[in-house]
Amino acid sequence: MLKHLKWILLVPVIVLGAMWVFIFVQKPKTSVPGLAPIAPIPHFEFQNQAGKPFSDQNLLGKVTLVNFIFTHCPTVCPLLTEKMKNISQAMTQPEVQFVSITVDPENDSPEQLQKYAERFGADLSRWNFLTGPLEEISKTIISGFKISLIRDKKKNKKAAPEDLFDITHGEHFVLVDAKGMIRGYQMIQNEEDQALLITKLQQLLTEKND
């Protein structure tokens, strides 16, 4: 009777111990909290600021932060580029790279992007500025990265070619893991947002190196 009583008392202890090991000791290797895979990156083939080919394959094997700008934008784009620069200076690991895709490829040639990058002191060894055919750029941004992009023709027909359209685009930064999966979207409106984004990049980097 006592033997049976001992086993009855021991079984819950053994079960609870096994649950503790499973929950607190075993580490998940495939997911990062708050950064669940959303969708694969779209296929694209563009040019960077040096006129060299740059495709979705260049995103594989590294953690990538992507944003969207155009060089003659007088308002939000310089701020977005400055924020990207700040993050690139905080994340200096070679396994992390940065990509800015123009939303106005008809005016943003590789040469124009090169000048823009130099203006902001971008580290072009880890930061690429991309351009390509308008249709492909639009498809990649809207359908692929799921970022809004609107081009409205202005009524002023005397405007300079680069000012013929009002361009509105999403301000979110896109986090991409080393396997080419979109893992998150984030806007940066203050220092706390920037710190959180850096933390997410570090999490993805840790996941890559595990």
What residue ranges do the domains of the chain occupy? Answer: 37-209
Q: pLDDT tens, 38-54?
A: 999 999 999 999 999 99
Q: Where are the alpha helices (DSSP H) in 91-162?
A: 110-119, 134-139
Q: Which distant-in-sequence residues (6+ apart) come within 8 Å of 191 by Cβ?
A: none
Q: Which distant-in-sequence residues (6+ apart) come within 8 Å of 13 by Cβ?
A: none
Radius of gyration for the alpha carbons in the chain, expressed in angstroms and rounded = 23
pTM score: 0.80
Token pair belonging to 97? 């790279």
CB of 197 within 8 A of CB of 171? Answer: no
CB of 201 within 8 A of CB of 96? Answer: yes
CB of 138 within 8 A of CB of 152? Answer: no
Average pLDDT of the residues in 21-47: 70
What b-and-e string marks burial along 98-118, b requiring 16 or more CB atoms within 10 Å of the CB?
bbbbbbbbbbbbbebbbebbe
In angstroms, how far is CA 201 from the centroid of its own chain? 9
pLDDT class of 23 with cuts at 50, 70, 90: very low
Q: What whole-number distance in Å separates Cα of residue 62 and Cα of residue 97? A: 7
Q: pLDDT tens, 56-110?
A: 999 999 999 999 999 999 889 999 999 999 999 999 999 999 999 999 999 999 9
Q: pLDDT tens, 134-192?
A: 999 999 999 999 999 988 765 444 444 444 457 888 899 999 999 999 999 999 999 99
Alpha-carbon distances, residue 92 vs 15, 89, 193 (angstroms): 46, 6, 19
Q: What whole-number distance in Å separates Cα of residue 40 and Cα of residue 38? A: 7
Q: For tokens 């009855």, what's the residue? A: 8
Q: Which residues pair with 55 in a beta bridge?
A: 45
The pLDDT of residue 33 is 58
Pick one of 3.90.230.10, 3.40.30.10, 1.10.150.120, 3.90.550.10 as the CATH number of 37-209. Answer: 3.40.30.10
